[in-house]
């Protein structure tokens, strides 16, 4: 990927999303721009104000990011890459804070939940304050007395705060997956994934028949998830990830069979499976 890219991500500065964007575009020296909401990220790429956007799509402990899934259905952007990022939570304070005086701990609700054991052991009487992101929690330490935050080391450095305990998450196997959004997906690499959305016909066995189209061709499904279809109560769409590129013959055949059995199919993109060396 060339230099001079404009990359938008879910902000503020210091979020895991920024870390994911930096990792994916490492070595390209992109201009990174924080957006206040996931919709703002989609809009910036859609309106060509940015080349790519980085958004969270699912966490290994908490599940999918519903705002991202809904916008993938609503918007016409494509997934051009993915990043898996290990989530490391740290206890962060304003410099010279006395830990015994900490009365409130700020963070995103998921981060607070993922550090429950640490908090119950060391801060059982502290009030837990929920904010919109871990980075925002660190940022707010300059405004709140006798407070600590759970956030990233990057955020601590960015806002002039101090990390006093590292890796305080209850489960070290905590990962978040991020999508890189653009106007085009990627050419085949031989180790690809494809994501799509579909709605099956309201007939007995229709979902089985859709999935069978992949099984009989030996295509491995890596995720399937249902979401309510807006404006149509008790009707659902399905999000599907599978191994392979949409241009491969077996995948093309499976998609053809799928379209015959579905109300609609929307391809979200084919892209390289993430590895430390895939960006």
In angstroms, the CA 12 to CA 7 distance is: 14
In eight-state DSSP terms, residue 101 is G
Q: Would you state the structure tokens that stand for residue 267, as one six-digit string?
A: 């391809």
Same fold yes or no, 6-86+174-182 and 90-165: yes
Q: Are 115 and 123 in contact (CB under 8 A)?
A: no
Average pLDDT over the chain reads 92
CATH architecture assignment, domain 6-86+174-182: 3-Layer(aba) Sandwich (3.40)
Which residues does the annotation mark as catalytic?
176, 178
What does pTM read for this prediction?
A: 0.87
CATH architecture assignment, domain 192-272: 2-Layer Sandwich (3.30)
pLDDT at 158: 92
| pLDDT tens digits along 16-33 | 999 999 999 987 888 999
What b/e string do you get for 184-223 counting C-beta neighbours within 10 Å, with b at 16 or more?
A: ebbeeeeebbbbbbbbbeeeeeebebbbebbeebebeeee
Give the C-alpha distances (Å, rounded to integers) separating 247 from 94, 111, 210. 53, 39, 19
What CATH code is assigned to 90-165?
3.40.190.10
Domain chopping of the chain, boundaries: 6-86+174-182, 90-165, 192-272
From the CB of residue 49, how many other CB atoms can be counted at a distance below 10 Å? Answer: 14
């Amino acid at each position: 990927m060339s230099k001079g890219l404009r990359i938008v991500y879910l902000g503020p500065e210091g979020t895991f999303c920024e870390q994911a964007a930096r990792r994916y575009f490492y070595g390209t020296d992109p201009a990174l721009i924080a957006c206040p909401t996931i919709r703002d990220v989609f809009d910036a790429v859609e309106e060509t104000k940015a080349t790519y956007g980085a958004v969270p799509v699912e966490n290994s402990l908490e599940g999918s990011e519903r705002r991202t899934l809904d916008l993938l259905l609503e918007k016409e952007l494509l997934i051009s890459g993915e990043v898996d990022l290990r989530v490391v939570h740290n206890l962060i304070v304003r410099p010279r804070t006395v830990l015994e005086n900490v009365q409130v701990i700020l963070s995103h609700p998921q981060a607070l939940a993922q550090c429950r054991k640490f908090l119950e052991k060391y801060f059982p009487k502290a009030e837990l304050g929920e904010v919109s992101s871990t980075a925002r929690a660190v940022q707010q330490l300059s405004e709140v007395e006798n407070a600590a935050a759970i956030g990233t080391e990057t955020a601590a450095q960015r806002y002039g705060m101090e990390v006093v305990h590292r890796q305080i998450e209850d489960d070290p196997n905590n990962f978040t997956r991020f999508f890189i959004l653009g106007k085009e997906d990627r050419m085949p690499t031989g180790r690809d994934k494809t994501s799509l959305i579909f709605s099956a016909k309201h007939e007995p066995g229709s979902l089985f028949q859709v999935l069978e189209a992949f099984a009989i061709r030996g295509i491995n499904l890596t995720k399937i998830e249902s979401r309510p279809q807006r404006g149509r109560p008790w009707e659902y769409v399905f999000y599907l990830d599978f191994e392979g590129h949409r241009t491969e013959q077996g995948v093309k055949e499976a998609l053809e069979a799928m379209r015959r059995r579905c109300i609609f199919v929307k391809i979200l993109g084919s892209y390289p499976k993430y590895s430390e060396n895939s960006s």
